[in-house]
Amino acid sequence: MFRTQARHAAATGEGTGGARGATAGGGGGAAGDGTPSRAPAAYLSGVTKTYGLGETTVQALDDVSVEFAAGEFTAVMGPSGSGKSTLMHCAAGLDTVDSGGVWIGETDITRLKDNDLTELRRDRVGFVFQSFNLVTTLSARENILLPLDIAGRRPDPQWFESVVQATGLADRLGHRPAQLSGGQQQRVACARAMVSRPEIIFADEPTGNLDSLSGAEVLGFLRESVDQRGQTIVMVTHDPSAAGRTDRVLFLADGRIVDEMREPTAERVLERMKAFEG
């Protein structure tokens, strides 16, 4: 974690404004070339987060430092209550931290004013929820374009087209969520998260409400987004086979990152999970 600490020192030394090095995430670049030399799309440094007061205090994140390299697909695993959702929410600016820094590219989001944070969440970060969170009265197309509509921006037609093609739902864009299967709805939600070309997407158990076939479709879509479009994704999952399709697995326990696996396979992830439980 030398790089994170060096960056953290530089950032805290320089205050908020300093633009250092290349901007992370700018389109992803050449995906899948295996070189982690680019600036991270996001990183956390010494993040702590507690909930509650007095005797009911829960330390959801306990001094977490981690980088998410641009163009990489990371899985986050760990027992229920280990802090996975808190990590995602803090990293995406959906929740505040007690201490530490959270960078999206070169921006420490813990120092942003409310308006700037709202804008950053809208333009530079995507989030996918377990429960899809689509607007039931809007078509799939309208749902996908909603974040851009709110921002008053038009989609990049080529980008929109490639994302829609990749969902496999090009012929269902006029359907409302209720007319789509769970797996299709979640692919719409993923496309919605991707349409603004965010630097990073956080997905909290995106396949948790899906049967294994639908889950595999969503996972295939996410994997392809990383491989074909250089998307950076961090995904919480309980499923070893889902984790086995990512580039890297982080294991959380009691609010700490306790292990990490590169180039995981379902078998190795399962073994590691058993070792923790044992």
Ligand X SMILES: Nc1ncnc2c1ncn2[C@@H]1O[C@H](COP(=O)(O)OP(=O)(O)O)[C@@H](O)[C@H]1O
Minimum distance from residue 255 beta carbon to ligand X (Å): 7
Q: Where are the alpha helices (DSSP H) in 133-265?
A: 140-151, 157-167, 182-194, 212-229, 240-243
Contacts of ligand X in 186-225 (CB under 6 A):
none
Residue 125 and residue 195 in contact, taking contact as beta carbons nearer than 8 Å: no
Which CB sits closer to ligand X, 193 or 236? 236
Which CB sits closer to ligand X, 94 or 146? 94
The two structure tokens encoding residue 98? 């007690």
Which CB sits closer to ligand X, 34 or 52? 52
Between helix 140-151 and helix 114-124 the angle, nearest 10°, is 140
Q: Which helix (H) or strand (E) is 249 found in, with range?
A: strand 248-253
C-alpha closest to that of 30 among 270, 228, 271: 228
| Residue 60 is a binding residue for ligand X (CB under 6 A) | yes
The two structure tokens encoding residue 105? 């590219």
Stretch that binds ligand X, among 24-32, 63-71, 78-86, 227-235 (CB under 6 A): 78-86
| Residue 237 is a binding residue for Mg ion (CB under 5 A) | no
Taking CA atoms, 266 is separated from 72, 239, 270, in Å, by 18, 8, 6
The two structure tokens encoding residue 184? 């299709």
Q: Which of 45, 85, 110, 225 binds Mg ion (CB under 5 A)?
A: 85
Minimum distance from residue 97 beta carbon to ligand X (Å): 13
Which CB sits closer to ligand X, 97 or 191? 97
Q: Site size for ligand X, by CB under 6 A?
A: 12
Q: Which one of Mg ion, ligand X, none interacts with residue 82, CB within 5 to 8 A by kind?
A: ligand X
Which CB sits closer to ligand X, 21 or 52? 52
Q: Which of 4, 85, 143, 231 binds ligand X (CB under 6 A)?
A: 85
Which residue type is seen at 190? C
C-alpha closest to that of 45 among 4, 94, 3: 4
Q: Provide the pairing of β-strand 107-108 with 99-104.
A: antiparallel
Stretch that binds ligand X, among 15-23, 83-91, 148-156, 173-181 (CB under 6 A): 83-91
Which residue type is seen at 185? Q
Which CB sits closer to Mg ion, 49 or 84? 84
The binding site for Mg ion (CB under 5 A) comprises 84-85
The binding site for ligand X (CB under 6 A) comprises 51-52, 58, 60, 78, 80-86
